[in-house]
Amino acid sequence: MYIDKRCDKSYDDILGRIRRVHFIGIGGSGMCPLAEVLISKGYDVSGSDMNDGDTLQRLISNGVPVKMGHKAENIEGAELVVYTAAVKQDNPELAAAREKGIPAIERSVMLGILSRRYSNTVAVAGTHGKTTTTAMISQVLIGSGCDPTAVIGGKLPSIGGNSHVGSSETMVCEACEYVDSFIQITPAVAVILNVDADHLDYFENMDNIKKSFRKFLAQTGSAAIVNGDDENTLDCAKDSPVPVVTFGFGEGCDYRAVMTSPETTVYDAFDLYFKGEKLCNISLSVPGKHNVYNALAAAAAAHHLGVSPEDIASNLHGFKGVHRRFEVLGKHGGVTVADDFAHHPTEITAALTAAMNMGFRKVWNVFQPHTFSRTAMLLDDFAKALSIVDEAVILEILPVREVNTYNIYNTDLGKKVPGSKCIDTFEDAAKYVCDNAKDGDLILTMGGGNVYMCANMINKMLQEKYGE
């Protein structure tokens, strides 16, 4: 249900009064970076989580006490509790914090607090591309010596994780619109990549989505850098209280891309223009037109912050992608295995279109639908997107936080995708594609949940099949 939220600044001074912070769900991609920022600033941090993983192990290896599972005693000694939006109100640690009178704030509130501790926060918003663009901006700024603090929703190989604690007054972070989380952030510079229909279980309609993006822009202090080719984004930015800078392919955009690479190439190159003056040529190392838009946004933000065109071009060329964004896991017997986070029809269309233009003999897509509500509300759009590839395998719908009140199943989607196959388990799907994929094929797993586990199974099966 959509709620007209406001930025909560009532806790802005709390970090000056406490030293010990406990994170419920500390291993999450959004929680771990915040914990690491606080650790770097001298706070004592502890945490708990239900699932092990790379981020959790990194924290543990750095001496952070982490408990597996959620128990009331885990918060002993904490002066502040931070929890994710996925944590239910009856969580034993959250309930214990209430009983003891320990302040407890949602992750987005903590991110907002930190955003106001940096005078030059850049917040990247949009329905699609936030993680990649945040990572691109971070890599450009770090590579050019700006030394920002970065909070990224995925692992950036060049920094070995999804966070970087810098010494400057610049912070780069993702601004997620789900349940209006980004309303808690008050950036100096807001980047809006696109505004699309998503999270309709919360927003209900496009009008509410736009209302939230307008509110986010209204809290921006210096400049708004927005997609000049996207009508919804421009509609949200038309009443912006700060100067609006546009990027895109259109001639009216402030930052404009003019393609210089042939259409047959895998990776794109383009001349970057600013107000009609050529700044540099950018040659990307990640595929797809969607990444040209991401790179344009990153270049515009970096140039706005004073980075030279030469540094922008060299660091964007050196950007090799983010974990789970068209991430190649291996190649065995001539079969390439990759994994991608795409879970919305627009994202799927962009990633699969890029894959189909990469010269593979056949592209196999193993897709895990993410939430019943999104699958039901965008069913025809999903079907159209999945029909792009040669072979589509559709897994069971991942419920996440929902109950199937929509009476929707993967077979409902499968009926609309010609030639597709619905397979419920990771094991059966992995065996099916490994048995049928041939030399020159790409197997691309896709989804916002744990489908990466299926990708790892496929990679391992192919390794064993071909003795590699």
- Among all residues, which ones are annotated catalytic? 130-131, 174
The C-alpha atoms of residue 395 and residue 402 are separated, in whole angstroms, by: 17
C-alpha 404/C-alpha 289 separation (Å) is 35
**8 Å CB contact between 161 and 92:** no
Pick from 267, 285, 175: nearest CA to 225: 175
Cα 1 to its chain centre, rounded Å, is: 23
- Comparing C-alpha atoms, which of 99, 137, 121, 103 is closest to residue 219? 121
Q: In terms of C-beta distances under 8 Å and separation of at least 24 residues, what long-range contacts does 379-382 make, across chains too?
A: 379/408, 379/412, 379/413, 379/416, 380/416, 381/345, 381/346, 382/345, 382/348, 382/413, 382/416
Residues 6+ positions from 121 with CB-CB distance below 8 Å: 115, 170, 171, 172, 173, 185, 186, 187, 188, 189
Output the DSSP codes for 364-415.
EEEE--B-HHHHHHTHHHHHHHHTTSSEEEE-PPB-TT---TT---HHHHHT
Measured torsion, CA atoms of residues 90, 94, 99, 104, in degrees rounded to the nearest 10 = -130
